[in-house]
Amino acid sequence: MVSTAGSTGQAALRAPVAGEVLARFLGKDRISADDVIALRRDVFGDGLVSREEAEALFEIDSQAGGACPEWRSFLIEAVADYVVHQEAPAGYVSEHNADWLIACMSDAGHAESLMQVEVAIAVLERARSAPARLSAAALDLVARAVVESDARTVSGAEFTPGAVGKAEVDVLRRVLFAFGGKAGIGISREEAEALFDLNERIKDAVNHPEWTDLFVKAIANFVMCASGYAPPPREEALRRDAFLDGTDVNLAGFFQRMLSGGLSGVLDAYRGSNGMEGAWTERNASREKAEADAEAIDADEAAWLVDRITRDGDIHENERALLTFIGRESRSIHPSIRELIDRVA
């Protein structure tokens, strides 16, 4: 059993609370606003959220036939509070908490409601640092909803069955913003893999044009910039608070510009006076080197990209758009990628 307060005694005292919560509300046809008031009193009464209580809330959600808007807000708040703030150092999602949340997301009973994705977004938005695989797992859950269910977002926007529509793009973008906006600059390899997997699953569908835009920018960010964010271990995270709390480098603003503009926004964001240049100046004290590195693709990145694009024996529409963009913008292109670019020219 995991104690949120670091005490075995406190964990033992809190376990019955979770059991009582589960017994009182499990299997209800609908969670009402009055139920949420009672749950808030039970869960937040002592100012702590335990893992047992968080698991109980997920179980209640998986079996509820319906729920009021207050329930969604409460579930997101309670689970995010546990994952982000109940272990030291506060604000850093631990490896085992990330694994726990990913397991909860994988066991989601209501994939069509995307509640688990909203929880993951809330965690990523609030955390200073989180393992990249948590963001990738949220992307995978969106992909699962796209392919396997007639889903709708928590706000009620309907998904397009079997394709990536505007609602799907909006959710995917929110996941990427949530992970990159705090301490991470670039798209991680885990996220890039998840986006490629989704693209391959819906390659023959009629997808929204914004999906191509998002896919190309995200993958280009990873392969061209080699800056996939790797969260620091806890002992290092405690020593990096000064940098992460600094206001001289607007990382969130950089990441949002990169993903919300046109395709040229990838490089424009890196060249912005308050974005990539500022961050790399702090880290490397070399603006020219950073800009050159941002546009170069090395052998490892090239091998990964070639493998992903050629894996199923065909080059699809979004992959063609990606290669075209790299060919136009990158000042140093590996020969293996140049060969693919020539094939689509």
**C-alpha to C-alpha distance for 177 and 136, rounded to whole angstroms:** 12
**Dihedral sign computed on CA atoms, order 317, 321, 323, 324:** positive
* The predicted structure's pLDDT at residue 5: 39
CB 53 within 8 A of CB 17: yes
Integer Cα distance of 311 and 296 in angstroms: 23
- Taking phi over 0 as left and psi of -120 to 50 as alpha, with beta for the rest, 278 belongs to alpha
Cα–Cα distance for residue pair 231/252, rounded to 1 Å: 16
Q: What percent of the chain lies above the pLDDT cut of 70?
A: 65
pTM of the entire structure?
Answer: 0.75
178 — pLDDT class (breaks 50, 70, 90): confident
Q: Which position has the token pair 């929110």?
A: 174
- CA 198 to each of CA 30, 142, 143, 145, 309: distance values in angstroms, whole numbers, following the listed order: 33, 9, 6, 11, 13
Query: Would you place residue 52 in the very low, low, confident or very high pLDDT band (cuts 50, 70, 90)?
Result: confident
For residue 277, give the nearest of 265, 289, 261, 264 by alpha carbon.
289
Alpha-carbon span 146 to 162, nearest angstrom: 6
What's the token pair of residue 295?
């546009």
pLDDT tens-digit readout, 297-327 = 677 888 899 999 999 888 989 999 999 888 8
Residue 242 near residue 198 (C-beta atoms within 8 A):
no
Position 10 pLDDT exceeds 60: no
Give one word for 288, left, alpha or beta, with left for phi > 0 and alpha for psi -120 to 50.
alpha
Radius of gyration in angstroms for the set of CA atoms belonging to the chain, rounded to a whole number: 21
In DSSP terms, which residues pair with 228 in a beta bridge?
186
> Are residues 199 and 212 in contact, defined by beta-carbon separation less than 8 angstroms?
no
Domain range annotation of the chain = 87-344
- Output the pLDDT for position 233: 43
> Minimum mean pLDDT among 88-102, 103-117, 171-185, 217-231: which range?
217-231
List, for residues 120-129, the tens digit of each pLDDT value: 999 998 888 8
Q: How far apart are CA 155 and CA 69, in angstroms?
A: 9
